[in-house]
Structure 1
């Protein structure tokens, strides 16, 4: 009987607890925008309450009802929030409460409760009080717009543009000068040669905010210039997150198209990984692979050739629509009760999890590549085509993203562990007609028809362990982070089969179009990043001040290899009677039968197209934030970085043992110890206005690939990337880091309800910028190399506004926009200047300055949104464009290549259904203007000619999301 009574008592207690609800919220220091630790939050007239933890957050368990909540802190005003309604089994999330310092005796401030947290206002407070120039977007703004992924939401941030639908660039500068971090840590992306992580894998319901720092402070890594974007994910969701979303997208040009090109892959392609179908044959790494000229028997040679997949041609198939599915789950658990004792430090456990799957199909019925030259006759302005390609291309991309994290928090400490796994697989199949012009310099003249089959498999596994500790009542705070990452990128069995033919030929051969080739590329990179930051808060002249110092260490190690095989004919060039590439490797054509086809390779040990590289970066910094005067806040910082890059590799001659060759064995190719100073000033003109100024010095370092002997061919465009260690004429052979001096000035006005206006000016000086340059000496092929060009500078202007139209009685209509204007100049090296002057057109006057590569002259973001929150309806139309941008630097007979503006106009409509608005239906239309992507050659008084062109078409997508 006693035991039954105990069980009954426990069940009653649990049932009673289940009838309770929770109040949650955050308290912020109204003077500096930071969260406040140890603020007393309790139900007025009772002892039920709690205190805020190290994140300024609080949580109180209460029975269903209506309460007045009192919030107080020593030397700050006391705020009473009246009429806070608590519902059983529900969570009431209150507004962020901003406490002002109590400089004189004032009465208690009384406000009425609002259950929706205005995170856009909180973010605006952060921007207003920060000593650095911040721009960003909050969770509430993301929800209003209806963006599903981080990359879509990032388009709304001042000065931000999106490349390839995945990567974020700031202020029109390219990837080299922009950086993306996740929860404050520098992690690589699926493309290991980019500074930016692929942003379309992060669901927005797990994001607290995304902030872009436009200027450098000593606690940030020094290798960015345009800006660094930090994506902050949730660790302690204020409400339980459990949502499922599915979506599909239809593009009339690409989906349900019977001409879509593909080829047979593996059984695991749908998971973004090859199952071994494309793997390199086991004996393909022998120094003498089985062939008619290697001394192996005919049977061994025949068996070796048959170990390769015989499929060489693309085939047509009807393409399905895009498909996506996602699930997110998160919550926080109180590991104890604090409802009776407001000083109780009950620990909490938070967790988040997200899984997403995306399958995208693209088909281009007219995909163009071109290679053009200046006419040798200086009196003729129009360019001469060297090679043009025009054909069809089908692409299928699978992207899987997994993100999970758990966090444990007491009032003064927090531990967080996050794991992320990204898996991507992209299959391409193309068929192109190639026209090579014998009238162009270095060209033989031929017609060809090529089949291209490619597969790229990438994976990234990252972990983050983070601890944050506040030493009670001492002003000391410690934050430490460790983040290892494993990145793998493989291109297994890239196949190109080009048939060369004449206008009246009925037989086709390898000829000038090249032998059928197969390429395997493998990359593996391990990186370890770690850092710690220590902050001491103190008083200076009666105002809040903070001293911050710390250190970081980053180590990266990469192995990369390329192996190539050519199909040749024993006794002559291969010939075919059909354009069907799949007939090439039928049994009767393989050695020793019929056409006698067999594979040969230039693979050797050591492999000239293989390298190993590692780098280490040790950094220390010191930063002090204080008020010089009551209205002038200053942050002074100095960062030290010791960076070393080592390389193991060799050129072709070195691999063959020639005394003229170059061979490096773990030798330093970059070694620097640099100081990066920064000063940031903010002058408070009024409670709503700031004037900011800053100076900093930053850097941009070459990547492993750039500072190597690698030679990487793109089979589709038939272009070749050459590592900077190769010497061509007066260029190449080495590459040094770029150093940049940054000057910024901003005036900003903050208004009610998230409205604001700002004007910013900036100026940057570049020492030895790195740009991708066409190699003038390589006239028979299209080859590029990264090189240091002459010093450069740019100046720019940014405008941003957010305004609602309530003054016109249009309370639900909001306008927002930002404009970035940039004027850039690079002083050419003598080599580049002389090569341009040598082919100067009649009437042309070339000076020694040009625009910077990768720098857009303008970036525009604009949006109109209409929202009826009570009806769960939001709609908006958004515009984004980046100005014409130099992408590849020409010289000699080769003109410059520019990316033309792509006018992106998108429509988004969201509607929530049900009494609790848990069901959301999203409808979007992308590329309303039906713009084409276009890169062109440009020359004096000449018509633009195509470098690369395709039409993405218009897409219509619908998504359904349900919150459980």
Structure 2
């Protein structure tokens, strides 16, 4: 039997009115994509064989995998009134990307930052909104309002849409673009898929780091060891958050000795068994299973369901260097440097449960429940040089940093699609979604030891410091809740040479966030120096030593004004209307207006009284405005079209950025402080694109874009009192971004059957002007925007064997250097901006299809072995080894 890629598309009772409805409506686009990659091929054959008002019984066609994977997404992209890029599940599978973030970097003009966040056309993640099946979702990240896209495994994604030009049915908080992650839907027939895989990284050849505290079960979740003990929670409630000896004595009315005994008992209740040791690393492990079916309950009613579970346990192990530049003796110089090893174990678990009920061909209700869990257990150890040790070549510090975090997202959605041919062909979409995101970071441990290298090469004689912070333990909790209601109504109107689609709707989105952090320190100020040298962490901070009043350990813990405790809420109410006009099948004009009322409040919280700090009315803001868009498409011929678009949008400060408390960013390790005076950013967006779609899936496009920004928000470095970087947020006066995008997919069968070449290239530039303030003194007040790369390139050389048994892809991705953080100056002397250097990513993916039901996929990631580097003042200030990864995955469909 010939192993061509067979596709069957069956459509029954597809009337002319319904075809026109599908052509323009969101419902129709979703249905066409769900039918699979055969829609475009089948529709082309059907149009040639039947009249538009006849019934299509069945169409069967064959195509290569190249055609199959591209046809559906190309068809949806062509049908969009506004500039958008679509990424389908087959395309994601082909490149072997494991999550949404990694997959989106293949889209034209998109760059991946920190492995989690997407920059659209060089604008930071704040300038892009993310939706899940068209609904807003909360974020478990304490320093960002945008959800980390690495939380979404590729196995639950049906497609992703990146809309780059604004339309009124999108939220006005739209800068670079909107990313809509669309999860897999109800199948039309029984599906049962299972897969298992493993992986290995070249960095695994070196031993990793782990520690005795916490738990290490297969889910990576904390077994309660790291959590704040109940005794401590009760004491914090009793003593109004301060468990210092003096506060206990005052509250209980007891002498200092009695209060000190209570203090020691509370210290012993904490988990202080966090000894770090070396360990070998296990290979990565992943697996997934999905099952679904559809049942005809009667001639009119159909019920379907789909459930899926995905599990992934992986390790990372790399070396890091970090240098901080400052001004000394009238010149830029190194004021801190360090070298460390970082080992992290990450566990990802996702679950999806969908139910669907359909009545006839025109009414459908579907529910989706999606659970995402991502845990990371991270250990970092290394030598640090500071101003206190740089002058002494025999002395350095040896830092240990242990961090555990669990991120969860639970979202429940119910949506409906209805078509009423008897009522002027009106179509109605509606959706309600509620979501909760949590971040739990219990028992974060940090301690610094003196390293006397005079007693040995490298790491010599280690001694704990005789300070109040001999070790610190931090406990953070964050909860983000979101609710989203929306309804869209469409009315098609048909005239002799004109088709008009009138669309309107409304949306209400609510978010509420609470963030709590408690930090404790165990003091060794009264401990003899002899007891602090050459001793392990578990031994020094044993219960016996803690409870021994003569040993000298003491617990400190009281809230401060800078603790990251805050409450925040946001509500957006919106209504819109747009008109989509097609004239003579050549011209298409779409445009409309959106009204949004935005209310937001963010206030610091005093844990002692559980009251907000300051006047909450001054911390809130409320505003409303009207935002418009206009898009014009001209069909040059059956294969070629021109697009033009304009949109006025806004980018608002997120919940975190308006609170003036300090967080330590979990990704950058920088201190981050909010700015309550931030203003919204207003944007004017212009787009133009030429598109050419050829048979066999070939396509070419060239796009131009320009964005004008008023009050752009930038992350900048603030003046600090120590050698740590403190990042804050500031409004610039103006900003602009402009560029050109090229995209292509070329069939190379003339060279070799089954060979193709695809890719995209974005060339752009930006400029922002920011004035200095009393807290921020920038070296360059006019420069490129932070995070903006002047070029982004994606190339893929692919091969599909004619017998359908083999496919292979060589994929290259690179983004030009971009500003990681802006340079600051002291007096008249400035330090230059820090630039993250291009990372040349080259991956190879090979898939073997031994039969119709199974496939074996092999991937080599980062073939070139490139590292992540940041340079400042011509000096390498940060580097992180990445390594080359190998993975093997087998999947079977019953």
Same fold per TM (> 0.5)? yes
C-alpha displacement at 1:332, in angstroms? 2.2
Within the candidate set 689, 707, 717, 1:764 is matched to: 707
CA spacing shift, 1:783–1:547, aligned 2, 3 Å: same
Higher relative contact order (CA 8 A, sep 6+): 2
Greater mean deviation of Cα atoms: 679-688 or 264-273: 264-273
Equivalent position SS for 1:709: coil
CA contact 1:173–1:855 (8 Å) conserved in 2: yes
Equivalent residue in structure 2 for 1:400, among 349, 354, 378: 349
- More divergent stretch after superposition (112-121 vs 688-697): 112-121
Name the counterpart of 1:312.
Answer: 274
Q: In the alignment, is residue 706 of structure 1 matched against residue 657 of structure 2?
A: yes
Counterparts of 2:260 and 2:770, CA distance in 1: 58
Q: What does 1:262-273 align with in structure 2 at a 5 Å threshold?
A: 262-267=210-215, 269-273=217-221
CA separation of 1:162 and 1:532: change in aligned 2, threshold 3 A: same
Structure 2 counterpart of 1:368: 321
TM-score (norm 1): 0.81
Task: Name the SS for the 1:702 alignment partner.
Answer: coil
Specify whether residues 303 and 207 from structure 1 end up closer, same or farther in structure 2 by C-alpha distance, changes over 3 A only: closer
**1:784 counterpart = 2:745:** no
Equivalent in the alignment of 2:458? none
Asked if 1:795 corresponds to 2:721, the answer is no
Q: Give the SS at the match of 2:743.
A: strand
Q: CA deviation at 1:602?
A: 2.5
Kept in 2: contact 1:252–1:955 (CA 8 A): yes
SS where residue 10 of structure 2 aligns? strand
2:879 is the counterpart of 1:945: no
- Equivalent residue in structure 1 for 2:291, among 320, 326, 329: 329
User: Match for residue 814 of structure 1?
Assistant: 756
Which residue does 2:576 correspond to in 1? 621
Query: Is structure 2 residue 843 aligned with structure 1 residue 919?
Result: no
Tell me the equivalent position of 1:303: 265
**Mapped pair 1:510 → 2:460:** no
Q: Does 1:804 align with 2:747?
A: yes
Distance change in 2, residues 1:890/1:779 (3 Å):
farther
Match 2:815 to one of 871, 876, 882: 882
Q: How far apart in 2 are the matches of 1:884 and 1:610? A: 35
Determine which of 451, 464, 469 is the counterpart of 2:418. 469
Q: Which position in structure 2 is the counterpart of 1:174?
A: 124
Q: Does the C-alpha gap of structure 1 residues 529 and 750 become closer, same or farther in structure 2, counting only changes over 3 Å?
A: same
Which sits farther off after the overlay, 272-281 or 875-884? 272-281
**Quick one: distance in 1 between partners of 2:632 and 2:539?**
70
Note the alpha carbon deviations across 1:635-672, whole angstroms, 9 max, x for none.
111111111111232699x9999xxx961336543322
Measure, in 1, the Cα distance between the counterparts of 2:665 and 2:153: 32
- Return the index of the structure with the highest Cα Rg: 1
Aligned twin of 1:957: 887
Residue 568 of structure 2 corresponds to residue 581 of structure 1: no
In the alignment, which of 113, 118, 131 is matched to residue 60 of structure 2?
113
Equivalent residue for 2:138? 188
| 1:932 maps to 2:882 | no
Which deviates more, 201-210 or 952-961?
201-210
Corresponding residue number in structure 2 for 1:10: none
Distance 1:277 1:587, change over 3 A: closer
- d(CA) in 2 for partners of 1:781, 1:57: 50
1:573 Cα shift? Answer: 8.4
Give the CA deviation at 1:200: 4.7
Matching residue of 2:564: 609
Encode CA deviations 1:607-662: one digit per residue, 9 max, x unaligned.
Answer: 9531111111101111111136752211111111111111232699x9999xxx96
TM-score, structure 2 as length reference: 0.87
Q: Given that residues 496 and 715 in structure 1 are in contact (C-alpha distance below 8 angstroms), is that contact kept between their aligned partners in structure 2? A: no
Q: In structure 2, what is the equivalent of residue 859 of structure 1?
A: 792
Structure 2 CA distance for partners of 1:585 and 1:132, relative to 1, 3 Å: same
Q: Could you say which residue in structure 1 is the equivalent of 2:603?
A: 648
Provide the rounded CA distance (Å) in 1 between the counterparts of 2:755 and 2:421.
Answer: 46
Partner of 2:4: none
CA contact (8 A) 2:817 2:835 kept: yes
- How far off is 1:148 after superposition? 5.4
Contact kept? 1:29, 1:35, Cα under 8 Å: no
Question: What's the CA shift string for 1:489-538, capped at 9, x where partnerless?
Answer: 11101110111355548573426895311111111121111111111111
Distance 2:635 2:126 in 1: 34
**8 Å CA contact retained: 1:331, 1:351:** yes
Q: Deviations over 1:932-961 (max 9, x none)?
A: 01223x23xxx2231x32111001110110
For residues 764 and 280 of structure 1, do their structure 2 counterparts lie closer, same or farther at Cα, with a shift above 3 Å needed? Answer: same
- 2:839 match: 902
Counterpart contact for 1:650–1:664, Cα < 8 Å: no
Unaligned runs of at least 5 residues, structure 2: 1-6, 250-257, 456-460
State the shift of 1:407 in Å.
1.0
- Shift in alpha-carbon separation, 1:289–1:112, aligned structure 2, 3 A: closer
Task: Give the aligned partner of residue 226 of structure 2.
Answer: 278
Tell me, in whole angstroms, the C-alpha distance in 1 between the residues paired with 2:148 and 2:626. Answer: 30
Partner in structure 1 of residue 254 of structure 2: none
Which whole-Å deviations, capped at 9, do the CAs of 1:223-276 have from their partners, x for residues lacking one?
222221223233232443211111111112126x4x210113444643242121
Corresponding pairs, count:
853
Deviation string, structure 1 residues 893-923 (Cα, Å, up to 9, x no partner):
4542222111110000000113xx2121100
Match of 2:716 in 1: 773
Query: Residues 488-507 of structure 1: matches in 2 within 5 Å?
Result: 488-501=438-451, 504=454
Residue by residue, what CA displacement relative to the aligned partner does 1:124-173 show, whole Å, maximum 9, x if unpaired? 22222321112123344445555555445434322233333344332232
Please tell me whether the aligned partners of residues 672 and 726 of structure 2 are also in contact (alpha carbons under 8 angstroms).
yes
Q: Which residue of 2 aligns with 1:478?
A: 428
CA distance in 1, matches of 2:140, 2:802: 38
Structure 1: runs of 5+ lacking an equivalent: 1-20, 39-51, 60-91, 338-345, 726-733, 838-845
Does 2:303 align with 1:349? Answer: yes
- Per-residue CA deviations over 1:723-782 (Å, capped at 9, x if unaligned) read 213xxxxxxxx1111111101111111111111111000000111111111112545542
Residues 525, 54 of structure 1: CA spacing in aligned structure 2 closer, same or farther, 3 A cutoff? closer
